[in-house]
Amino acid sequence: MESLKGKHIVLGITGGIAAYKSAILLRLLIKRGAEVQVVMTPAAKEFITPVTLSALSGKPVVSEFFTANTGEWHSHVDLGLWADLMVVAPATASTLGKMANGIADNMLVTTYLSAKEHVMVAPAMDLDMYASPSTRRNLATLASDGVEIIEAAEGELASHLVGKGRMAEPEEIVERVERFFLRRNDMSGMKVAITVGPTYEKIDPVRFVGNYSSGKMGFALAEECASRGAEVTAVAGPVSYYPSNPSIKIVKVESAREMNDEALKAFGSADVGIFAAAVADYRPEEYCDHKIKREGSEEMTLRLVKNPDIALNVANNKKNGQTLVGFALETNDAVVNAEKKLEKKNLDMIVLNSLEDKGAGFRTDTNKVTLISRNGDEKRFPLKSKREVACDIIDEIMELRKNNS
Ligand code: C5P
């Protein structure tokens, strides 16, 4: 039932009788696992109290630009960036007009103007207002701006007149919300290849050069893509757990050279390729086929030679329409270095994580990333679980593919 798990929804409520139905809508969204932030216009508070809505959403309702007693500023820009979707229900004629014309005199309209993602409106008003040329014009403008209109239904209205103007039922609005995320998320028919985990470079039969990568981020990405219907191949170095999802084919490798060979096979037919592995940059020049003894030697020199750059090798054979994404773990000049890597490795996007961020990087269950795209877009995300980070990364990849198609 948790079809909206992890989704961030701004629910905008305006001042109409149908505002009482927003509480039911809010409850349905929360029940499906969405995180909902309610933004009300001042007039909406005449119809339903913020107390009801904050109790249902578990978050204080936002309505004013400032909290009167503390002067705390509520950032509509942050809210706009946070939201995966904004739903205005009910949307009055006045709010539709303000949205269509950019009249940003309340928190709801400013949030709408800052919203980066999809916006839906569910109008509710008297039949004559709904049919009026001004409302029709505003709805047409909003539709051409990309806003999804959930048309009002026919029925008895607050005025006791019968006609078109009733807000769509909360169940119908929720269905539209679910359909939007399915549509946006759908990866069925797509092939995804991912490199995962560390590589081990053998020194002798019992020792190796390796790193602390756990494979958690790579497998979170694999799980996310599989849950969206993609066929996934994970070329994975030695890790302590492997997912059991039947849509994830696992090719187990140990060294960077093995990973390189298998990746070249798996990435060839992939629509999306993600390099999440922490590949050892160097390997011992020679492998000793028996255990190296320490007796008689005070020092030991290990000569290392360079490993293949898997991302670069795959990108050199990049197919038309393929999206390639790499990771970068930087300690200094992070963004500049990541941008250089984008160019050098012919990638479409880099996921930047910094070892300096607490809870980010190797062996943790959380990560904090910045997504840097070839088109110059840079999106910073807060600390989240690796699965949620995977969701953000895949959303962004799908967005890039939509814009490039
Ligand atoms: O150059 P750097 O190691 O920082 O690049 C990181 C990106 O390149 C990661 O996506 C990593 O998986 C990939 N990579 C690779 N093969 C290497 C080194 C890095 O695929 N030998």
- List the chain domain ranges: 8-183, 191-404
Q: How far is the CA of 229 from the centre of ligand 1 (A)?
A: 27
Residue 294 is predicted with a pLDDT of: 84
Share of the chain above pLDDT 90, in %: 70
Q: Are 394 and 325 in contact (CB under 8 A)?
A: no
Helix 93-101 to helix 107-114 angle, to the nearest 10 degrees? 40
Residue 337 is predicted with a pLDDT of: 87
Q: Looking at the predicted structure, is the pLDDT value of residue 338 above 90?
A: no
Pocket test for ligand 1, best of 199, 275, 336, 341 (most atoms within 8 A of CB): 275
Bridge partners (DSSP) of residue 275 are 195, 326
Pocket test for ligand 1, best of 235, 309, 341, 343 (most atoms within 8 A of CB): 309
CATH superfamily of 8-183: Flavin prenyltransferase-like (3.40.50.1950)
Instruction: Give 368 or 117, the one with higher predicted confidence.
Output: 368
Closest ligand 1 atom to residue 329 Cα is 4
E-strand stretches of 112-161? 118-123, 148-149, 153-156
Rounded to an integer, the average pLDDT of 14-38 is 97
Q: How far is the CA of 383 from the centre of ligand 1 (A)?
A: 23
Q: Looking at the predicted structure, is the pLDDT value of residue 335 above 90?
A: no
Residue 72 is predicted with a pLDDT of: 76
Helix 216-227 to helix 386-404 angle, to the nearest 10 degrees? 60
Query: From atom 5 of ligand 1, which residue's Cα is the shortest distance away?
Result: 328
**Phi and psi torsions of 379, nearest 5°:** -120, 125
The band of 170, judged by pLDDT with boundaries at 50, 70 and 90, is very high
In this structure, of 197-211, 276-290, 345-359, the range with the lowest mean pLDDT score is 345-359
Catalytic residues: 211
The arrangement of secondary structure in 191-404, i.e. its CATH architecture, is 3-Layer(aba) Sandwich (3.40)
In this structure, the residues whose C-beta lies within 6 A of any atom of ligand 1 are 195, 256, 275, 277, 279, 281, 307, 309-311, 326-328, 341
Rounded to an integer, the average pLDDT of 54-83 is 85
Residue 206 is predicted with a pLDDT of: 96
Q: How far is the CA of 246 from the centre of ligand 1 (A)?
A: 27
Token readout for 141 is: 């403008």
Q: How far is the CA of 183 from the centre of ligand 1 (A)?
A: 32
Rounded to an integer, the average pLDDT of 54-81 is 84
pLDDT tens per residue, range 256-295: 999 999 999 999 999 999 999 999 999 999 999 999 988 8
The overall average pLDDT reported for the chain is 92
Closest ligand 1 atom to residue 195 Cα is 12
Rounded to an integer, the average pLDDT of 213-223 is 93
Nearest alpha-carbon partner for 248 in 273, 223, 216, 277 = 223
Residue 356 is predicted with a pLDDT of: 67
Residue 291 is predicted with a pLDDT of: 94
Rounded to an integer, the average pLDDT of 8-16 is 97
* CA 342/CA 222 separation, integer angstroms: 22
Q: Looking at the predicted structure, is the pLDDT value of residue 196 above 80?
A: yes
Q: Looking at the predicted structure, is the pLDDT value of residue 212 above 70?
A: yes
Q: Looking at the predicted structure, is the pLDDT value of residue 241 above 70?
A: yes
Q: How far is the CA of 382 from the centre of ligand 1 (A)?
A: 24
Q: Looking at the predicted structure, is the pLDDT value of residue 316 above 80?
A: yes
Helical (H) or strand (E) element with 291: none
The sign one gets for the Cα dihedral 351, 355, 361, 364 is negative
Residue 234 is predicted with a pLDDT of: 98
Pocket test for ligand 1, best of 253, 304, 327, 350 (most atoms within 8 A of CB): 327
**Phi and psi torsions of 74, nearest 5°:** -95, 120
Residue 157 is predicted with a pLDDT of: 87
Q: Looking at the predicted structure, is the pLDDT value of residue 70 above 90?
A: no
Residue 251 is predicted with a pLDDT of: 98
